[in-house]
């Protein structure tokens, strides 16, 4: 078999999807320990893989920023120069294998621009991405989890896919910051994280239900509760906390953690309660048990990966519909506070 020395992984976005590709990276490196692995990723998700010991070089695409700035006369020159430098960087190395795990036109186009002997991807690719491959797409099922689909590609490359962790690397400075909030003791089993937000309106659970849940968790489990989210989520989360009873044991860290700091935080928590959103995958990757609320999306494809997690769904015939907009959000509204509390209590006890 031809020696594999240089590998390019193309997984551009989103944060959750890049987290899902970390097990693939690990098993590829185990299979080809002497290889140099580069990863092509977009800016927002690049923080997931920054500092990963298995990666030789991270090639960052500023696609979204370029699209925003290219028509601005004041930014045109800098944007054009940045994009040209990126494409030169992409062409800097010659690869034995280029692997497109994104399966969209933009990833396929970048695979075509790269210098690779073999260019492979998965079945089910959209927007003509398979046209840019040099080998038939690896057959995968989209009724299985994304991580398992990626591992099918690793199996195709001759890799043993049974041994991986999939953890997000973080730095000492991230640990120091989280220690300053939580303390440096190892008694973290009493911490429950809550991430109540989501990018899709259809994925949201009512704010007052999160308030009632937080109140029940404090009374029955005597736990410390930490809310997480983005800076834009602060007003909503402040409102949730204000109705959650005793706020002395509740901390709002929305907008106050980087992605690495969030990964470190979740590694210290017993349970994360959340909607179907990126932090769910971060927590699962860091070994935190997850209780996730699913409505319009399918947990088989994008749910928390691994053992010990719990998915709460209501019995609605139209779910999953994969709609970002919907006049009837019964799939989320019908999820009861008691059902979520029981799942958290069970997970909190390690059952």
Residues whose CB is less than 8 angstroms from the CB of residue 78 and which lie 6 or more positions away in sequence, other chains included = 69
Region 339-348: what's the mean pLDDT?
A: 94
Classify residue 209 by its DSSP letter: H
Domains by residue range for the chain, with CATH: 6-156 (3.40.50.2000), 172-348 (3.40.50.2000)
What's the pTM value of the predicted model, to 2 decimals? 0.91
pLDDT at 185 over 60: no
- Work out whether strand 271-275 and strand 191-195 pair parallel, antiparallel, or are unpaired: parallel
Question: Closest Cα to residue 58, out of 167, 169, 138?
Answer: 169
Tally of CB atoms within 10 A around 87:
13
Question: Is residue 75 very low, low, confident or very high in pLDDT (cuts 50, 70, 90)?
Answer: confident
Cα angle 337, 342, 346 (rounded to 5 degrees) comes to 150
pLDDT tens digits along 261-302: 999 999 999 999 999 999 999 999 999 999 999 999 989 888
- As a whole number of angstroms, the distance between CA 24 and CA 31 comes to 11
- Residue 189: its pLDDT value, please? 54
CA atoms within 13 A on the CB side of 343: 22
Kindly state the average pLDDT of the residues 44-58: 96
pLDDT digits (tens, 9 = 90+) for 254-269: 999 999 999 999 999 9
Phi and psi angles of residue 156, each rounded to the nearest 5 degrees, phi first: -60, -30
Residue 182, φ and ψ in degrees, nearest 5: -95, -20
d(CA 202, CA 331): 9
Give me the helix-helix angle, 76-90 and 105-113, nearest 10°: 60
The residue length of the chain stands at 351
Under 8 Å between Cβ of 118 and 8: no
pLDDT higher than threshold 80 for residue 186: no
CA distances from 23 to 27, 45, 143, 154, 347 (A): 6, 16, 19, 10, 24
pLDDT value for 351: 42
Q: Is the pLDDT confidence value at 188 over 60?
A: no
- Any idea which of 3-7, 109-113, 136-140, 182-186 has the lowest mean pLDDT? 182-186
3-state helix/strand/coil string of 51-86: CCCCCCEEEEECHHHHHHHCCCCCCHHHHHHHHHHH
Q: How far apart are CA 219 and CA 202, in angstroms?
A: 30
Average pLDDT, the chain: 92
Where b means 16+ CB within 10 Å and e means fewer, 275-310 reads bbbbbbbbbbbbebbbbbbbbbbbbebbbbbeeebb
What average pLDDT does this structure show over 91-118?
Answer: 96
Give 310's strand partners: 291
Judged against a pLDDT cut of 50, whether residue 104 lies above it is answered with: yes
Question: What is the band of 88 on the pLDDT scale with cuts at 50, 70, 90?
Answer: very high
For residue 350, what pLDDT is reported?
Answer: 56
| pLDDT value, residue 187 | 54
């Amino acid at each position: 078999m031809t020696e594999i020395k240089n590998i390019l992984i193309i997984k551009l976005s989103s944060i959750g999807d890049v987290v899902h590709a970390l097990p693939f990276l690990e098993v590829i490196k185990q299979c080809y320990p002497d290889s140099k692995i580069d990863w092509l990723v977009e800016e927002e998700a690049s923080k997931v893989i920054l500092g990963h010991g298995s990666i030789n070089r991270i090639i960052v695409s500023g696609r979204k920023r370029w699209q925003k700035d290219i028509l601005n006369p004041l930014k045109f020159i800098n944007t054009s120069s940045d994009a040209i430098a990126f494409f030169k960087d992409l062409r800097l190395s010659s690869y034995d294998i280029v692997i497109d795990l994104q399966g969209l036109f933009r990833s396929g186009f970048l695979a075509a621009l790269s210098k690779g002997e073999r260019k492979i991807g998965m079945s089910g690719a959209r927007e003509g991405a398979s046209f840019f491959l040099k080998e038939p797409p690896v057959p995968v099922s989209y009724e299985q989890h994304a991580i398992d689909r990626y591992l099918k590609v690793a199996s195709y490359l001759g890799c043993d896919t049974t041994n991986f962790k999939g953890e997000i690397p973080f730095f000492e400075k991230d640990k120091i910051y989280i220690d300053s909030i939580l303390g440096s003791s190892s008694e973290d089993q009493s911490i429950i994280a809550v991430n109540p937000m989501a990018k899709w309106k259809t994925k949201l659970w009512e704010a007052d239900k999160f308030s009632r849940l937080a109140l029940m968790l404090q009374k029955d489990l005597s736990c410390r509760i930490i809310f997480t989210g983005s800076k834009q989520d602060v007003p909503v989360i402040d409102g949730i906390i204000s109705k959650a009873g005793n706020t002395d044991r509740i901390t709002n860290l929305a907008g106050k953690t980087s992605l690495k700091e969030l990964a470190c935080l979740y590694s210290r928590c017993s349970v994360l309660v959340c909607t179907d959103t990126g932090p769910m995958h971060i927590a699962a990757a860091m070994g935190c048990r997850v209780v996730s609320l699913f409505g319009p999306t399918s947990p088989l494809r994008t749910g928390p990966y691994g053992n010990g997690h719990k998915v709460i769904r209501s019995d609605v015939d139209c779910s999953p519909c994969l709609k970002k907009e919907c006049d009837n959000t019964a799939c989320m509204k019908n999820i009861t506070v008691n059902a979520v509390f029981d799942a958290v209590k069970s997970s909190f006890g390690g059952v």
